[in-house]
Amino acid sequence: MPQIHPKTTPIYQTSVFTFEDLNDLELYFEQPTQQYMYTRYGNPNSDELAEEVNRLEGGAGAVATSSGMSAILTAVLTFCQSGDHLLCAEEIYGGSAALLSQELTRMGIAVTYVPSDSLYTLVDFVQPNTKLLLAETMSNPLLQVVDLKRLAAETKRTGIKLVVDNTFATPIITKPLSLGADMVIHSVTKYLSGHSDVTAGVVVAGTAEDSERSKQIMRTYGLNLSPFESWLAARGLKTLKLRMRQHCANAMAVAEFLEQHPNVKQVWYPGLAQHPQHELANGQGGGMFGGMLSFRLKDDELKTVNAFMQALQHIPFAPSLAGVSTSISHPLRTSHRSLSPEQQQKLGISLGVIRLSVGIEDTEELLQDLGQALDKV
């Protein structure tokens, strides 16, 4: 049989790998990084994905997981066990809050949410058993930008770890580890894969020790990613830099358009000069502000929201984000549904707030569709 040198990594769609004999098996246990035994423990496709994201983030090691949620779980369990306490930024993805408050508390891990105005002074929140703070580079859904360098200095001062969800920014815009974070997580489902056809996550550690611990958690809890989805995600990564440039350019144009429309009351996008963290976002993101934005309709009523959604001709209502095609979502009824009405109100997530994931289509097509839909409400 001739030698095969594929340009693209083949899909290793197998649950188990074979050994010649017991000596070969022992070699695996002595040098597990040199061979494969069982796909839950490791697979060439999931390793390729993890290694590429690790390179992009500048980490000491990474592990691919079955979803963004399992990446969050893996990161938390890397540092926490029963009896520990963790902090979480108050403005966080609703699914993250549900995992922390509804499930991890059942495992004996206590959670405290830190308001945005207290994020850089943690002395009143850190307890003797506090292990980490979880925050997002850009918050979901109102795009508040965290000063990661400042936050990392505060977590180091208080002796806790900083875990950053970098899904909205991607390493093309911001590299949290270089700013002092201890661990970075991604929902690979979103920008890293980029085509709305994968559900995956990744955890990138700042030290080899933390990386090995996160890999152990993935293996033991069975949080591994399948070979085929790993292959799809690794393929998506190849165009990440190009896609992010177009996402950002389109989002800026859309934000400026929405800002001027009479039926829009407010726009949240870090690229706009009046955004409260615009200068921070500009410096931390190297002049790139991401493809996500949110806006509030002037008429904050259900019939108005429905009329707007129904009037869109090319932009679907899809409760996810970061695909190459633009989509809208409704945080109050989807991502932040699990929050109490008081929490939703405090965060400013009302019925009229629409989250827009700006794709890479022709800019004028996007503006035309949004414009005609807004004109009808």
- What residues act catalytically? 40, 93, 165, 190
- 38, 1, 3, 45: which is closest to 18 by C-alpha? 38
Helix (H, G, I), strand (E, B) or coil at 209: helix
Residues 6+ apart with CB under 8 A from 255: 267, 269, 271, 272, 293
- 122, 118, 112: which is closest to 155 by C-alpha? 122
Strands 264-268 and 201-205: unpaired
Strand order in the sheet with 110-114: 61-65, 201-205, 183-187, 161-165, 130-136, 85-89, 110-114
User: In DSSP terms, which residues pair with 267 in a beta bridge?
Assistant: 295
Handedness of CA 175, 343, 345, 151 (dihedral sign): negative
Residues 6+ apart with CB under 8 A from 127: 85
Residue 137, Cβ density class (10 Å: 0-12 exposed, 13-18 middle, ≥19 buried): buried
